[in-house]
Structure 1
């Protein structure tokens, strides 16, 4: 993989990590310091609670992604970024640019999905 491609992917991961951490900080600020002046009636309170629940669910999903990002950045440090965790072959640059946290090459990912689908049927 070209050095320029590696740096582009690493930068994207770092920016995604910062965005997720920023979102988490905003959510925590909104939860710990709610603007109660804007909540005029029970409907507003219920709507606010629903919004908070949705935001917390989104943060949960982002927390899982953040974990994958951290793991991927560690692979950069170790020199193992872009290597399929299943077969040991290189993951295509196109796949890594589309999904930088990918840990499996397309072939292994498809095999895994076939197995998972078989269990679901």
Structure 2
């Protein structure tokens, strides 16, 4: 999947209603009500656009920096920088896919619920990592299991 506008539906790309700039989801309101969903939808779209803009800048920079450098040490340094930048962009490309998946979950009414337990994911966790698909407890269990299998 490339870092271009993806298969996120138009419904996810346009605002549904007015949401104050200072709005923050609160524990005392119904979980994943329209305001919370809109808040997370906008947060995800903004994050996605920032990543895509960075990708465009990187591509332009890499195209401009393609030059013949006679000094071997300088050339090696530039190639290392380029490889690091490409790895970073690859991680960001994967992140854009996760953002698109979160936007789809919003559209399907599944956003904010743990894919393992079906429990609510805390608003604090979602605010910090809106692409989260597991509750903190489920994520910790998953990571412990991963660590045990990795140590074998």
What is the distance in 1 between the residues matched to 2:50 and 2:85? Answer: 14
State the structure with bigger RCO (CA 8 A, min sep 6), 1 or 2. 2
Alpha-carbon RMSD across the aligned residues, in angstroms, is 1.9
- Picking from 89, 102, 106, the partner of 1:72 is 102
Within 5 Å, which residues of 2 pair with 1:1-121?
Answer: 1=31, 2-34=33-65, 36=67, 41-121=71-151
Task: Name the CA distance, whole Å, in 2 between partners of 1:36 and 1:106.
Answer: 47
Report the Cα offset of residue 79 of structure 1: 1.1
Normalising by structure 2, we get a TM-score of 0.70
Aligned residues: 120
Map of 2:5 onto structure 1: none
Residue 70 of structure 1 aligns to a residue in which SS? helix
Q: What is the TM-score when the length of structure 1 is the normalising length?
A: 0.86
Unaligned runs of at least 5 residues, structure 1? none
Higher helix share: 1
Please give the per-residue CA displacement for 1:22-65, whole angstroms capped at 9, x wherever unaligned: 1111111122232649x574443333222211110110111111
How far apart, in 1, do the equivalents of 2:126 and 2:59 lie? 31
Distance 1:72 1:83 in 2: 11
SS at the partner of 2:131? coil
